[in-house]
Chains A and B, each alone.
Chain A
Amino acid sequence: MKRYAFFPGCLIPARHPAMEFAIRSTLPKLGIEIVDLEGASCCPDPIYFKSKDKLDWLAVAARNLTLAEDLGLDIFTNCSGCTATLSETYHLLQDEELRDRINRRLARIDREYRGTSRVRHIATLVRDEVGYDAVRESVERPLEGLKVAIHYGCHLLKPSRIMQVDNPDDPQVLERLIEALGATPVRHANWYLCCGKACDGEEIPNQMMHDLLATVHDEKADVLGMICPTCFGQFDHGQMKIAKLFDEDFHTPPIYYFQLLAFAQGVPYEKLGFERQRFKPLALQRYEEVAAE
């Protein structure tokens, strides 16, 4: 087993425990041992907290990174926002002057940032340390014929020099991870569009979400596969709001990749918390019936 420190952040453990459950259920089957980080705080939030004071943001993020350094482990994240904060901090603190300044703050609590723990998003951890073939081998019920529209979200991919996840103009990682489950990924026309959650106000995000959901809807996909809990909120209760606002029949259920993986690995549908979603991925149930026969 390869050991990694797990940085769960706020949104997934507090709002979407089903996603955390899916991660804890799937990774050990792929040879990853999850080590919990005691005393971790919010990453902190790369939108509003960062917009208040970048130095405070770096100081809190650096403290979180030192928790993994204490364990001598690399970190993996399950939220694109946490990945952005922690990866940017790792990148920015390669500057000695800035690192010294942040370390003078950390000295107040007897901590020191050393830059020894790498930050990996869970999707790249699986791609690079497990591999698509091992994911395929872990699947107990292949999702043959399941059409999965793909939404990457912004912060997983950009800025690519810092995130080091994939080519933001033609990313592959989610498509390949979906294919490893036997399902069929679909790139809809507005695949690159932002979910709008981090934009203050109503007008811009509403229009953006409408256009994005319209091309998702055009594909008639069974589900919308995604990897970011913030985007997830936009596509679940947000989809209901947009459908009402624009009088459209949008209804593609969003699904977090690791819940889909857990299902393909054999975790029963009713254990995966889908009843809490506004749009439930009922298309999955046909694979349970096949398995039961």
Chain B
Amino acid sequence: MSASDGRDEVVRVDFAFKRELAQKVEGDLANFCYQCGACVGDCPATRYSPAFNPREIMLKVLYGLESELLGPDSVLWQCTNCYGCHERCPQEVKPVEVIISLKNMLADRGLAPPAADKVIQTFMAQGRTVPDNPAIDKQRAKFDLPPMGAVPMDEILALLEPEVEEENGS
């Protein structure tokens, strides 16, 4: 692994990348990682895909190796979101949360997978992640359950408007 410009063996930390990650909720926690590997032994994704290794991902974050983390078809999407690493980490790095913060950066760059875009689109239209259709209410009626009912989308969309300066506290 090398983050140098090729002229020497010195790893150059990309601080701009790390500052951007630190803006995400719990994105800065990787700084506490001392590379013990407790996250690896319990990781189901690592068990089935050697390409996915939470300790290595945290190391790349520490160096700020953006090009190895934030590309199309990023290995980060192989995370199973099982939260085993969150449970195990003695430093409370919460590797899964750092990985999700990195996914936020992928989404900012338009690099989320189609499955993610689909969930977001459905939510933005209806406030739910299972698309509404008449068959659902028909099924519910069989169990004497009331129809699903609408989500007040005006409230949801107002919440999701970009923050103005006085709101983000920076």
Contacts and interface: CB of A to CB of B under 8 A. Distances in A.
Instruction: Say if A and B assemble together.
Output: yes
Interface of A: 10-11, 13-15, 17-18, 20-21, 24, 38-42, 44-56, 58-60, 63, 84, 92, 97-98, 100-101, 104-106, 108-109, 111, 154-155, 158-160, 168, 193-194, 196, 198-201, 203-205, 207-208, 273
Contacts of B115: 48, 200
B140 A13 contact: yes
A159 B87 CA distance: 5
A53 B49 contact: no
Contacts of A160: 87
Q: Interface of chain A, helix or strand or loop or mixed?
A: helix
B130 A63 contact: no
Contacts of B156: 41, 60, 63
A2 to B, nearest CB: 22
Contacts, number: 178
B136 interface: yes
Contacts of B129: 10-11, 42, 44-45, 48-49
Interface in B68-103: 77-84, 86-87, 94, 100-101, 103
Interface residues on chain B, size class: 35 or more
A144 to B, nearest CB: 28
7 contacts: A47-B81, A48-B112, A101-B163, A101-B167, A198-B81, A199-B77, A199-B80
Given A104-B166, A204-B80, 6 more contacts: A20-B145, A39-B152, A52-B104, A108-B161, A200-B113, A203-B49
B127 interface: yes
A58 B78 CA distance: 23
